[in-house]
Amino acid sequence: MDYKAAFRAAVDQIRDEGRYRVFADLKRHRGAFPHATWTRPDGGESDVVVWCSNDYLGQGQNPIVLDAMHSAIDQHGSGSGGTRNISGTNHHHVELEAELADLHGKDAALLFTSGYVSNEASLSVLYKILPGLIIFSDEQNHASMIAGIRNGGGRRHIFRHNDLAHLEELLAAAPADAPKLVAFESVYSMDGDIADVGATAALAKKYGAMTYLDEVHAVGMYGQRGGGVAERDNVMDQIDIIEGTLGKAFGVMGGYITGNSEVIDAIRLMASGFIFTTSLPPALTAGALASVKWLKLHPEVREMHQERAQTLKAMFRAAGLPVMENDSHIVPVMVGDPNHTKLISDLLLAEHGVYVQPINYPTVPRGTERLRFTPTPFHTDDMMRKLVGAMEQLWAHCNVARMGGHAA
């Protein structure tokens, strides 16, 4: 067997489909967000504005967060020293879990090393805790939820995206006495559309199902204290398990679930992805704790964030660029072809000081390739004008259709 050739063939296929990923080599600088230094392939450096960070609120540069991280290193050292069970529970874990439970109005919370792990570990173990469980999963759920549901090995039904009539059909057809769980997201990251969390929860309740809500793209950003869309819509108490990340709006790293104490205790005792891995280091938990606390008290940052997103969408629309409409902070501009998407992204980076990563299959369906912009409170009008000007030029250059128009 020519193993090398087999690996090369796999890569070649991806390259032929225009999906070969090149990571932009960036250096961020304290206080300069959203500017960064990009190291070009030839080794030279240029200043770029980062337009696709999931550090949605710039918390990764908030001095409150950085100071907490520095002081945790100074006081406690680097790593946590073990799994949560074997010496790896630091006081910051305990405090952060209490803070997150409070954020979502729940009894308890459980930390994981990432949002991905929190979804995979929690969803997969639910089948063990609830024998005969059937999970009803939105078709656009994140890869980590799909992995958890698949790895759990139990029964599952996929409902059409945000389609409550379809969900109801599936719930009604399932055995009335089987344990059930509806798994969905609030803000979907690629289209930026938002689920009707209250209506989904009410439907689940009608059929005796539990609910699992991924608020990864909403925590910190929605709700009076940053508790997510469920807080904004006043339905946190209707959701059994709320999952979130510390790596996006909170600007650090890590994931978590919150829920009532029985649910959290069972997952804590049974989920492999929680038990058998080194816990988050003190600097991360201290930074996340500072970030969650700070954002609870700063709703004006959330308002500014929404305002920035609306302004950018309006500017793209005014320029006739095909921005996908949604009610969130995510600004997708549709290109519809992987090679064009990559070319526009490459030229924005190399010639216009704009960094936005192309989004291609399998992250989004083929034919819906796009550029996904995530303006933060730190993106100024001037940065937006430059971005839109560059996009207009490149759109003409690549001959991509505008809104209401056609490529020649």
Contact 156, 146 (CB under 8 A): no
Pairing between strand 45-50 and 35-39?
A: antiparallel
* Residue 62, both tokens: 């908030």
Considering only 120, 214, 233, 337, the residue that binds ligand PMP (CB under 6 A) is 214
User: Pick from 199, 116, 102: which is nearest to 151 by CA?
Assistant: 116
Is residue 97 a contact residue for ligand PMP (CB under 6 A)? no
Is residue 358 a contact residue for ligand PMP (CB under 6 A)? no
Nearer to ligand PMP, 152 or 179 (CB): 152
Nearer to ligand PMP, 101 or 219 (CB): 219
Considering only 255, 273, 332, 358, the residue that binds ligand PMP (CB under 6 A) is 255
CA distance 214 to 151: 18
Is residue 55 a contact residue for ligand PMP (CB under 6 A)? no
* Residue 95, both tokens: 């405090």
Query: In Å, how far are 36, 230, 394 from 258, measured between CA atoms?
Result: 35, 13, 45
Nearer to ligand PMP, 147 or 347 (CB): 147
The strand order across the sheet containing 255-259 reads 108-112, 255-259, 241-245, 210-214, 180-185, 134-138, 155-159
User: Pick from 203, 156, 209, 161: which is nearest to 185 by CA?
Assistant: 161
Number of H-type helices and E-type strands within the chain: 14, 14
Window of 115-123, 233-241, 378-386, 389-397 that interacts with ligand PMP by CB under 6 A:
115-123
Q: How far is the CB of 247 from ligand PMP (least distance, A)?
A: 4
Q: How many C-alpha atoms does 369 have within 13 Å on its Cβ side?
A: 23
Is residue 245 a contact residue for ligand PMP (CB under 6 A)? yes
Under rule CB under 6 A, how many of the chain's residues touch ligand PMP?
Answer: 14
Considering only 84, 93, 142, 156, the residue that binds ligand PMP (CB under 6 A) is 142
What does the per-residue mask of binding to ligand PMP show for 153-192, with x meaning CB under 6 A? --------------------------------x---x---
Is residue 308 a contact residue for ligand PMP (CB under 6 A)? no
Binding site for ligand PMP (CB under 6 A): 114-116, 119, 142, 144, 185, 189, 214, 216-217, 245, 247, 255
